[in-house]
Structure 1
Amino acid sequence: MPITVKQLLQILPNAGQVAGVFVPVLNTAMSRYQIIGAKRIAAFIAQVGHESGQLTRLVENLNCSADALRKTWPSRFNAELATTVARKPEQIANIAYGNRMGNFVPGDGWKYRGRGLIQITGRSNYAECGEALGLDLVNHPELLEKPQHACMSAAWFWASRGLNTLADAGSFSKITSRINGGQNGAADRQALYAKALKVLA
Structure 2
Amino acid sequence: MVVPASSATAAPAAPAAEAAAACATPWSADKVYLGGDTVSHAGHNWSASWWTQGTAPADTGQWGVWVDKGACGDGGGDPDPDPSGFVVSEAQFNQMFPNRNPFYTYRGLVDALQSYPGFANTGSEETKKREAAAFLANISHETAGLYYIVEQNEANYPHYCDDSKPYGCPAGQAAYYGRGPIQLSWNFNYKAAGDALGIDLLNNPYLVERDPAVAMQTALWYWNTQQGPGTMTAHDAMVGGHGFGQTIWAINGALECEGGNPAQVQSRIDKYRNYTAMLGVTPGSNLSC
What band does the TM-score fall into relative to the shorter chain? 0.7 to 0.9
Deviations 1:24-68 (A, max 9, x none): 221232354222110110001111111122122121111xxxxxx
2:108/2:212 contact within 8 Å kept: yes
Relative contact order, higher structure (CA 8 A, sep 6+): 1
2:178/2:184 contact within 8 Å kept: yes
CA distance in 1, matches of 2:199, 2:141: 25
- Structure-2 change in CA distance of 1:18 and 1:28 (3 Å): same
TM-score where L is the length of structure 2: 0.53
- Structure-2 change in CA distance of 1:121 and 1:109 (3 Å): farther
> How big is the alpha-carbon RMSD for the aligned residues of Structure 1 and Structure 2?
2.6
Which position in structure 2 is the counterpart of 1:157?
Answer: 222
Which position in structure 1 is the counterpart of 2:69?
Answer: none
The correspondence of residues 165-176 of structure 1 with structure 2, limited to 5 A, is 165-168=236-239, 169-176=241-248
Aligned-residue offset at 1:100 = 7.7
CA distance in 1, matches of 2:168, 2:108: 33
1:94/1:106 contact within 8 Å kept: no
Which ranges of structure 1 fall in alignment gaps of 5 or more residues?
A: 63-88
Aligned-residue offset at 1:101 = 8.9
Query: Does residue 116 of structure 1 match 2:195?
Result: no
- Amino acid corresponding to residue 10 of structure 1 in structure 2: Q
Which position in structure 1 is the counterpart of 2:102?
Answer: 18
CA distance in 2, matches of 1:139, 1:104: 10
**Who wins on radius of gyration, i.e. which is larger?**
2
Aligned-residue offset at 1:149 = 0.4
- Percent of counterpart pairs with the same letter? 28
Which position in structure 1 is the counterpart of 2:251?
Answer: 179
- Structure-2 change in CA distance of 1:35 and 1:108 (3 Å): same
CA distance in 2, matches of 1:107, 1:31: 27
Question: Secondary structure at the residue paired with 1:110?
Answer: coil
Aligned-residue offset at 1:7 = 0.6
Deviations 1:91-139 (A, max 9, x none): 43324x3548959669956210111111111111100101111111111
2:176/2:190 contact within 8 Å kept: yes
Which position in structure 2 is the counterpart of 1:71?
Answer: none
Which position in structure 2 is the counterpart of 1:190?
Answer: 269
Question: Secondary structure at the residue paired with 2:149?
Answer: coil
Which position in structure 1 is the counterpart of 2:92?
Answer: 7
Which position in structure 2 is the counterpart of 1:48?
Answer: 139
TM-score where L is the length of structure 1: 0.74
Which ranges of structure 2 fall in alignment gaps of 5 or more residues?
A: 1-84, 121-127, 227-232, 281-289
1:35 to 109, 114, 119: 119
- Structure-2 change in CA distance of 1:54 and 1:111 (3 Å): same
- Structure-2 change in CA distance of 1:116 and 1:35 (3 Å): same
- Amino acid corresponding to residue 187 of structure 1 in structure 2: Q
